[in-house]
Amino acid sequence: MTPNRIVSAVAAIVFGVAGVWGAVASAGLGLIADPGALLPGRLSTNLLLSILHLAIAVALAIGCVRGDRAARVTNVSVGTVLLVLGLFGLFAVGTPANVIALNGVTNVLHFAGSSALLATGLGAPPAAEAVTRGRPAERTPLN
């Protein structure tokens, strides 16, 4: 497996667990409750954020299964969404615009996930390059 597929699979599992856990914890609070339920005492969530996490998990899992190119595109796309979500959270916390119950801890985690996905999606070598690394490249008439 390539780095993009591995990171995509691990992130899918993490976001899937967070989404299910958040949905169970915030089931009685309503879709856009703010403040939402607190997971391990600090991590704020509500049903809308849990649904978003589950959608992210499904997208990452599909990208992982479809191959390296799909995993790379999915990692960059989801990483960008998480970056925008983190930036939104910086300004939305404590305001009526905070419909997904963000707080400082969730912002940090969204930025961390964004960093990991973007770094892998943009920095890891493509699948063909990863396979040949460490061996001399074959000479062709074009190179």
Per residue in 131-141, pLDDT (tens digit) is 555 555 555 55
% helix / strand / coil in the chain, to the nearest 5? 65, 5, 30
More confident residue, 106 or 56: 56
Query: Is the CB of residue 77 less than 8 Å from the CB of residue 55?
Result: no
pLDDT at 99: 85
Q: Given the structure tokens 């939104």, which residue do they identify?
A: 88
d(CA 44, CA 26): 10
pLDDT at 62: 97
Say if residue 129's pLDDT is above 80.
Answer: no
CA distances from 133 to 79, 127, 136, 141 (A): 26, 10, 8, 20
pLDDT at 46: 83
Q: Write down the domain spans for the chain.
A: 3-126
pTM of the model: 0.81
Residues 6+ apart with CB under 8 A from 38: 25, 44, 45
d(CA 3, CA 48): 30
d(CA 41, CA 63): 32
Per residue in 38-80, pLDDT (tens digit) is 667 677 788 888 899 999 999 999 999 999 999 999 999 999 9
Q: Containing H/E element for 28? A: none
- Which amino acid, residue 80? T
pLDDT at 117: 97
